[in-house]
Amino acid sequence: MHGHEWMNRFSTPAILIRRRDYGDYDLVLTFFTLSYGKVSLIAKAAKKSTRRFAGVLELFSEIDIAGAAGRRSGLPVLQEAVLKHPFDRIRTIPTRLAYASYWAELIDAWMEDHVPQSELYHLLRHALSELDRGAAAEASVSVVFQMRLLRLSGHCPNFELCTVCRIALNAMQSDVLGVDVPKGGIACLNCLPCPTDTPRLSKGTVKQLLWIAGGDLERAARIRFTPAALAEALGFLECFVPYHLGRQPRSLKVLRQLREDRP
Ligand SMILES: [Zn+2]
């Protein structure tokens, strides 16, 4: 939605994905919103004042926001913010915070401003809610999030055929497959023989990833991976997603460091 008429006055549920200081008093906030996709607003006096927006503008919270056009050609101005879901248990555990930061960074980098993506909004909201509840393994939630993000953004990997010789997945003899990351899909071991640092996937993991990429989110989220399949899936996605994004997310480095330090 280009043209900024809607900005005269608007309201929408939103998830706060980025906060930056702006001068001594203000904040620039980037939200992923249900109705307008990614939107940045300025929150006047939000940095110093304890009354205005007190405790509401925390990262990864779901907030009902109302905004209005700024003066001249500046950013729209945040006028109201009402907390819906704080998801505050995310911010108390470093690995949870790192996963949420990674997902937010992917959305911030990949999505254009003002393009509504309601299915992606519900996906992010679901993933943050799961992280907050702590019922499912963090890595498993991240696999579901990344696979569905790839599909929704038009970057779903080719899991049907070897991207080089076109042999079908089911016709491949080995249970282990390579991934040709630049070509965007799996490759049989004849075409990608040397065990380099490219990711490997077993057929079973490929089938699980295909299953969670599409269909109903609630069903996909109930998937249970074996520890080996989860490690494979995570290794593959954290290589594939940054490559197709075109850069290494900073938060992914932090996430990897935290997982290595874990006893
Ligand atoms: Zn091949």
pLDDT per position as a tens digit, 128-183: 999 999 989 999 999 999 999 999 999 999 999 999 999 999 999 999 999 999 99
Nearest Cα to 150, choosing from 32, 223, 250, 244? 244
Nearest Cα to 165, choosing from 196, 187, 181? 187
3-class DSSP string for 145-194: HHHHHHHHCCCCCECCECCCCCCEHHHCCCCEEEEECCCCEEECCCCCCC
**Separation of CA 257 and ligand 1 centre (Å):** 34
**Separation of CA 116 and ligand 1 centre (Å):** 38
Q: Give me the sign of the Cα torsion angle 80, 82, 87, 88.
A: positive
> How much is the pLDDT for 50?
62
**Separation of CA 9 and ligand 1 centre (Å):** 55
Quick one: which H or E segment has residue 239? Answer: helix 227-245
- Quote the pTM value: 0.94
> How much is the pLDDT for 195?
62
> How much is the pLDDT for 196?
65
**Separation of CA 191 and ligand 1 centre (Å):** 4
**Separation of CA 180 and ligand 1 centre (Å):** 10
Q: Is residue 80 scored above 60 in pLDDT?
A: yes
What residues sit around ligand 1, an ion, with C-beta below 5 angstroms? 162, 164-165, 188, 191
Q: Is residue 1 scored above 50 in pLDDT?
A: no
Nearest Cα to 173, choosing from 188, 162, 194, 185? 188
> How much is the pLDDT for 116?
95
**Separation of CA 173 and ligand 1 centre (Å):** 11
Q: Is residue 20 scored above 60 in pLDDT?
A: yes
Distance (Å, rounded) from C-alpha 20 to C-alpha 27?
6
**Separation of CA 179 and ligand 1 centre (Å):** 10
**Separation of CA 130 and ligand 1 centre (Å):** 38
Mean pLDDT in residue range 45-71: 87
